A = this chain, B = another copy of it.
Amino acid sequence: MKFSLTILGSSSAVPTASRNTTAHVLNVHERFFLIDCGEGTQMQFRRFRIRFGRVHQIFISHLHSDHILGLFGYLATQTLIGRKKEIEIFGPPDLEKFVRNHFSLFPESLLLPIVFHSLDQSGVFKIFEDKAVEVISFPVKHRIPTWGFLFREKLMGTNNLLNEPRTFAYCTDTIFDPGLATVFAGCDLLYHEATYGQKELNRAVSTAHSTARQAAELALLAGAKKLVIGHFSARYKDIAILLDEAREIFPETIEATDGLTIDIPPRLPSKF
């Protein structure tokens, strides 16, 4: 039973030759969830051989260009390849207006049914549930309303009695916020933005982003099993320094790279 995250874009606002802007696909038991959708997401699906048809839910953290510009092409291509099945999009309240407004110029490009769900900043909410997973949204602190997402596996049936549900927490874009640790305590994988190194701490604070070290501190506070850092500023040609700063605090840190898949193996109950 798969539980894996594939990175489609690991750069922050400005893409580089090797890093697209933010997008991820989470595979839970062969159900695929698209999380953020930066420019070029549809090309990354092709490059990394992920089938569009497998995604039925999209989660958008906030309305900054580098997290949403890929939506238009992604959705237009679904229509072009003949998709008829509904897509659900969970995102900020203005997202629906923004997407529909864009397509008003190309009405023939958006023929598939889309159901938009507005996220709510006032607390932590379960926003989606199916046979395999439940998804919880929680507010994070950025320059505009922004949400993180917690994906929690659901295990049913006798075959799975020996396993414990796996969890994945997604936090970007956000200032360092230790209060989040309780929201995803004990998660198996935490994706946390690490736009800057510690030398740029002031810039991180003033732009409401985090440093790699802060991402690691949050992973430690939350008791996460593994941390993947991404959303790197284009100023870093080499991410080694960010990775070192994070690993000093939290050794189980991985660098996001475009195309990387992180598999979370099933975990046994603690009594074993």
Show the binding face of A for B, using Cβ within 8 Å.
13-17, 20-21, 39-40, 42-43, 46-47, 49, 63-66, 69-70, 72-73, 76-77, 80-81, 94, 98, 101-102, 105-106, 109
Cross-chain contact A102 with B102 (CB below 8 angstroms): yes
Cross-chain contact A15 with B46 (CB below 8 angstroms): yes
Cross-chain contact A94 with B102 (CB below 8 angstroms): no
Cross-chain contact B39 with A80 (CB below 8 angstroms): no
Choice from B40, B102, B105, B109 contacting A39 with Cβ under 8 Å:
B40
Q: Which residue of B has the minimal Cβ distance to A97?
A: B105
Cross-chain contact A15 with B39 (CB below 8 angstroms): no
Chain B residues lying within 8 Å of A21, measured Cβ to Cβ, are 73
Cross-chain contact B109 with A105 (CB below 8 angstroms): no
* Closest chain B CB from A209 CB (angstroms): 14
Choice from B13, B66, B73 contacting A69 with Cβ under 8 Å:
B73
Could you jot down 26 A-B contacts, CB within 8 Å? A13-B76, A13-B77, A13-B80, A14-B80, A15-B42, A15-B43, A15-B46, A16-B46, A17-B46, A17-B47, A39-B39, A39-B40, A39-B42, A39-B43, A39-B72, A39-B73, A40-B40, A40-B43, A63-B105, A63-B106, A64-B106, A65-B73, A65-B76, A65-B106, A69-B69, A101-B101
**Most chain B Cβ neighbours within 10 Å, of A40, A42, A72:** A40
How many copies, total?
2
> CA separation between A63 and B20, bound complex, in Å?
25
Q: Which residue of B has the minimal Cβ distance to A21?
A: B73
> CA separation between A102 and B100, bound complex, in Å?
11
**Most chain B Cβ neighbours within 10 Å, of A43, A72, A106, A109:** A43
> CA separation between A63 and B106, bound complex, in Å?
8
* Closest chain B CB from A65 CB (angstroms): 5
> CA separation between A40 and B63, bound complex, in Å?
19
> CA separation between A42 and B234, bound complex, in Å?
13
